[in-house]
Structure 1
Amino acid sequence: MTVYLDRFHFPDNVSEEIFLSNEERLKATCYSSVYPFTLFFEKGLEELKFEPVTFLYGGNGSGKTTILNIIAEKMKIQRGTYFNKSDFFDDYVGLCEQHTINSSFSIWRNSRIITSDDVFDYMLAVRCVNEKIDIKRENLFDEYMETKYSSFQMRSLDDYEQLKKNNDVKKHTFSKYVKRNLMGNIREQSNGESAFWFFTENIKENALYLLDEPENSLAVELQVKLLKFIEDSARFFGCQFIIATHSPFLLSMKESQIYDLDETPIAGKKWTELENVRSYFNFFKEHEEEFK
């Protein structure tokens, strides 16, 4: 299994304090936030070491998405959607350091960060396509019924196309007629299926992928399928993943590293030790008899 990003260093408390004390722009009253400075002060975050698959776990506001964005900006990893950076984001990124191995231009060219916005935009695009198809289907229904019950007679070669359409209608049921005329455009997928398809289409070989809560929009069975896809991509196709997630199904992945960002200091954990996972376990344990 492959590692491209081995370690990532964040500015320590001293470096942050020096920057904040000397930064002229801080004297301007228009800046009410120095994010992402001070976000990890109490957590003692100075370095993360990565495996072929590494999970960032934590509640809302724990900083897991921020870490992905910091890494992406430092390494200039490509994005699908616009990232609205805060005023001091680039300054913070400038104080960070990455340590890479097995790297090449092609790896970084193919690497990318995939956010919920990317997946949502894709699902929205699929929905728009389907809506256009629905409109065309309605038009085809009107066309089918009008043609089927018309008293058409061919009078010249100008009527040849209409004759072909009449014959096509007579040879097929409405459903077959519609499928023939919509073939190549039909995408009969749920939002979850579209989201899963997005990951399988955009994750290629030999690259680093930063995934921000990929479980969003995925039902349990699709989360399990995504788990297997990520495992296979890391094991057989030279991919490395850093994933921010709450999903107990993804977190159960074998041979992965998990960082619990709810801990102070941030600590490595087994998936069975995580609070969210323990909550699931305790809930089903309480209802164990109902499953028998």
Structure 2
Amino acid sequence: MVFLSSFTLPDEDAEWDFFIKQKSRAYSTYYPFQVFPQKHVPQLTFEPITIFYGDNGSGKSTLLNVIAEKLKLARGTLYNRSSFEEDYLALCDFALGAPVPAGSAVISSDEVFDAMLSTRALNQQIDRRRDQMFDDYLDNKFATFQYHDLSDFDALKKVLEARRKTQSRYVRDNLAKNAREFSNGESALQFFKEKLQDERLYLLDEPENSLSPANQQQLASDLTDRARFFGNQFVIATHSPFLLALPHAKIYDLDRVPVAPARWQDLPEVQTYAQFFADHASEFRKEPPHD
């Protein structure tokens, strides 16, 4: 599915027109102005999966955020908007292949990391509560309790429960289950499985962060299936060779001037990986066992 069909950034002339209208020259930066003109970014056209590739500082995250703000997509973490954001967005333009569904969002690696930290904090609270529950069990099990009236009913229930159960069973039955059932990488995968809904547009900023190579491959498979079978469109900023190799993805190389589509196999970072494994190819050959 293609919701976002094309996006156009202001060219050098449009940015220059903006600057000559400014009465003050007191600002040291006019971000996001002055980021893209020298790159000669063409009108960007989108497929069900489109990828922005580039080295650190290439502007891929900035571009993703500009698109997200222009489309008014939901976001789960704060975004540091500059004083000139609205002026810049006013000069951007886009075309839709279909209306952008409610619930479409931009998801940053910070949001994934915050979700993992929230889970960790919840678990720490549960762990502290578990220690309290151990003491609670012993207090109730060996209490010299006397029932007087209905106001004592809840206390009586706890005493009887403690005397009827083992300590571990008492704690398990009275304590929320620990939310940390996954490693960090597995938690990140779980975040995407719960967050991504069918028939939505999602802008993903370096979603491979916190993921091992195996989990990056799993994420790539999940995104491919979602784009193919569940009506999702993805625009992704990434370095990951596993995501860059997504089938039928359109890749814009933001390190190239002018910016242009590229094959994933030709990208410098992928070539670096390929050369590394080529140099060590002999080390991967299995030696026959010695007698």
Name the counterpart of 1:35. Answer: 31
Matched, 1:24 2:22: yes
Percent identical pairs in the alignment equals 46
Structure 2 CA distance for aligned equivalents of residues 235 and 269 of structure 1:
22
* 1:238-265 deviations in Å (ceiling 9; x for gaps): 1100000111111111111111111111
Name the counterpart of 2:168. Answer: 175
Matched, 1:102 2:94: no
Alignment partner of 1:213 out of 206, 211, 222: 206
CA contact (8 A) 1:77 1:108 kept: no
Structure 2 CA distance for aligned equivalents of residues 290 and 177 of structure 1:
54
Describe the SS at the equivalent of 1:56. strand
Amino acid at match of 1:49: T
Report how far residue 12 of structure 1 moved. 1.6
Report how far residue 110 of structure 1 moved. 1.5
CA contact (8 A) 2:133 2:171 kept: yes
Name the counterpart of 2:81. Answer: 85
Structure 2 CA distance for aligned equivalents of residues 138 and 209 of structure 1:
42
Unmatched segments (≥5 aa) in structure 2? 287-291
Report how far residue 173 of structure 1 moved. 4.1
Farther off after superposition, 54-63 or 212-221: 212-221
Amino acid at match of 1:225: Q
Q: How does 1:218-233 map to 2 (within 5 A)?
A: 218-233=211-226
Q: CA RMSD in A?
A: 2.1
Residues 162 and 212 of structure 1, relative CA distance in 2, 3 Å threshold:
same
Report how far residue 66 of structure 1 moved. 0.7
Structure 2 CA distance for aligned equivalents of residues 130 and 41 of structure 1:
48
Structure 2 CA distance for aligned equivalents of residues 231 and 152 of structure 1:
63
Structure 2 CA distance for aligned equivalents of residues 145 and 79 of structure 1:
47
Name the counterpart of 1:282. Answer: 275
Report how far residue 167 of structure 1 moved. 4.6
Q: How does 1:1-292 map to 2 (within 5 A)?
A: 2-20=1-19, 22-25=20-23, 28-103=24-99, 107-148=100-141, 150=142, 152=144, 154=146, 156=148, 161-183=154-176, 186-291=179-284, 292=286
Unmatched segments (≥5 aa) in structure 1? none
Name the counterpart of 2:289. Answer: none
TM-score computed with the length of structure 1 as normaliser:
0.88
CA contact (8 A) 2:42 2:260 kept: no
